[in-house]
Structure 1
Amino acid sequence: MITALIGILIGTGLSFQTAVNSQLRKFVISPYLASMISFVIGAISLAVIILITGSPLGIGWGFITQQPVWIWLGGVLGVIFLTVNILLFPKLGSVQTAIMPILGQIIMGMLIDNFGWFHSMKESFDIYRLIGIVLVLVGVFFAIAVQEFKSRIEKTQEINPTLWIWRLVGIASGMLMSTQVAINGQLGIVLQSSIQAAFVSFFIGALTLIIVVGVKDRSYTAIRNPIKQKASWWVWLGGFLGAAYVLINIYLVKQVGTGQTVVLVLFGQIAGSLLIQRFGWMNSLKMRIDWIQIGGLMLILAGVIFIRIF
């Protein structure tokens, strides 16, 4: 019971991380700078944990050159995922920002499992996975499409095609997240330390964003804006939530296995996004949630269960 609650809470925390980082962006303006702050804080948090546990921070150059290039790309993919979520949140709202990447995660996860990409264990596509993906697609339709068509008909307005472009971007970012999980999992195996693998991923992501901000924004001074404008203290929590998400996932996988961990976390993520959107927490846009959307979300969860457990 306690383990299940922890999984749901960390999934909820992931939804809050997106909301927090989106609010941080309002002060620093640049989505890249907001992502950089989150990654730097997450990397520092993990570094402190590693030092406390007595594990090494550094990795030998010889070891680095012996590994395939893709094994070091998890942090870069994390950068893209986090930055895209910051961009999606004000466009689609909390619920859709959670749903579309979940769809992408499932699609890419099944491809990785079926073909054994990134040295992952092969799991062939079967009838249960087919049922799961159908449930997810139907759930997405009820959670998003039906609601949009209904609102547009009532207001006699045309459907905005731009929103569907952003939704496709969300699906693509979810595919990158599944790829990141597979890559970081393999990195944890070769390093023989999940915590060190998480730190390497965050460190590479932070370094990537520092370079991107320097090239694109050409200034880091906006970091002081939240302090100058007396932003709420919680705008700095995105990095801590990201680091906690990685570490607690490691713990849960050892306790209940990967399948149940994914289901618990995704349930928490969906529940968190509903709460944020319904009550307008973290200064997000407050939107009504109806029974059609809730039914769609439950179908998505059922689909995830079929895909991950059976």
Structure 2
Amino acid sequence: MYNILSLITGLVIAVMVALNGRLALSYGNFNAIVIVHVVGVLFAFLLCKLTNRKITIKKNLPLWLYLGGAFGILTLIFNNFAFGKISLTSIVALGLLGQTVASLLIDCLGLFGMKKHAFRKSSIIGFVFSLLGILVMLDNTAETALYAILLSFCSGITVVLSRSINAKLSQHVGDIQSSFVNHVVGLPIAVAITIATTKSSHSYIAYKFTPEPWIYLGGALGVTAVLLCNITVPKLSAFRLTLLTFVGQIFTGIVIDILTKNGYSEATFTG
């Protein structure tokens, strides 16, 4: 069941990325991040009300348990700055490498209070296939911009950190509430970054409302993805969760590209 939920998480993330990408075309990258978080906060709050989940902030919890949303923002920033410097395929591959390394460290060391999962001999097969897939997806653009390579690698690490912290917080406040906190924490950071990176004071409000309301659903899917991770993270090893989520995300992304008549990367498919 949890393996299937991990694949579904990848599916949700792929659709979310597609919607957020369309939103970014209309409003710009950083403005889109703000909109995504506003929608996410409202959707998570509505879910809490509909399910009678009480939102509480426990004062005795360590501060780092509330930083999942901050790491989520870092993931978006790292990918934004790497985009255009190296190919999208290389960004995906290096992100997977970062997730793989971070996942193995969490599994072996039991970081963030997670259950330890020893690296068994049978896991070597999955690890070797993972590295082969990464090598297949890398291309010669990855040799041209060292900082873009580092940012893409770090984006994979922050993905794992964010989902692990959110899952740990959910054990104290609840699954849906943790998703709400994730977006509440990320929202002011996104707003601050947007204001700091916007050249003119009016440019981030001078946009027409798009007639395609479906592109605003990325925030709701983000809440769903965090919620699914809150369920699966305590039940599966971080390494297994990384691979299953990635597989679900890649194949859903390819299906979306085919349906929207966009070409997909053969290197990504092979990887």
Normalising by structure 2, report the TM-score.
0.82
1:153 matched residue in structure 2: none
Residue pair 1:22, 1:89 contacting (<8 A) in 2 also? no
1:189 correspondence with 2:171 = yes
Matches within 5 A, 1:100-179: 100-145=94-139, 148=140, 161-162=143-144, 165-179=147-161
> Could you give the per-residue CA deviations for residues 11-61 of structure 1, whole angstroms, max 9, x where no partner exists?
2231232233233223323x32221111111111010000111111242xx
Query: Deviation of residue 165 (structure 1)?
Result: 4.2
Matched-pair identity in %: 24
1:38 matched residue in structure 2: 36
Matched length: 268
SS in structure 1 at match of 2:45: helix
Residue pair 1:22, 1:87 contacting (<8 A) in 2 also? no
2:189 matched residue in structure 1: 208
Residue pair 2:86, 2:142 contacting (<8 A) in 1 also? no
Residue pair 2:86, 2:144 contacting (<8 A) in 1 also? no
> Could you give the per-residue CA deviations for residues 147-173 of structure 1, whole angstroms, max 9, x where no partner exists?
x5xxxxxxxxxx573456434322211
The structure that has the greater radius of gyration is 1
The separation in 2 between residues aligned to 1:105 and 1:74, in whole angstroms, is 15
SS in structure 2 at match of 1:55: coil
The separation in 2 between residues aligned to 1:160 and 1:50, in whole angstroms, is 43
Matches within 5 A, 1:47-66: 47-59=45-57, 63-64=58-59, 66=60
1:295 matched residue in structure 2: 270
The separation in 2 between residues aligned to 1:237 and 1:108, in whole angstroms, is 29
Residue pair 2:78, 2:154 contacting (<8 A) in 1 also? no
Query: Deviation of residue 176 (structure 1)?
Result: 0.8
Query: Deviation of residue 264 (structure 1)?
Result: 4.2
Query: Deviation of residue 216 (structure 1)?
Result: 4.0
The separation in 2 between residues aligned to 1:15 and 1:269, in whole angstroms, is 5
The separation in 1 between residues aligned to 2:264 and 2:130, in whole angstroms, is 22
Residue pair 1:78, 1:205 contacting (<8 A) in 2 also? yes
Judging changes above 3 Å, is the alpha-carbon distance between structure 1 residues 98 and 232 closer, same or farther for their aligned structure 2 residues? farther
Judging changes above 3 Å, is the alpha-carbon distance between structure 1 residues 119 and 251 closer, same or farther for their aligned structure 2 residues? closer
The separation in 2 between residues aligned to 1:53 and 1:201, in whole angstroms, is 18
The separation in 1 between residues aligned to 2:242 and 2:201, in whole angstroms, is 39
1:73 correspondence with 2:39 = no
Provide structure 2 residue ranges, at least 5 long, that are not aligned to the other structure.
none
Structure in which a larger fraction of residues adopt helix? 1
Judging changes above 3 Å, is the alpha-carbon distance between structure 1 residues 108 and 76 closer, same or farther for their aligned structure 2 residues? same
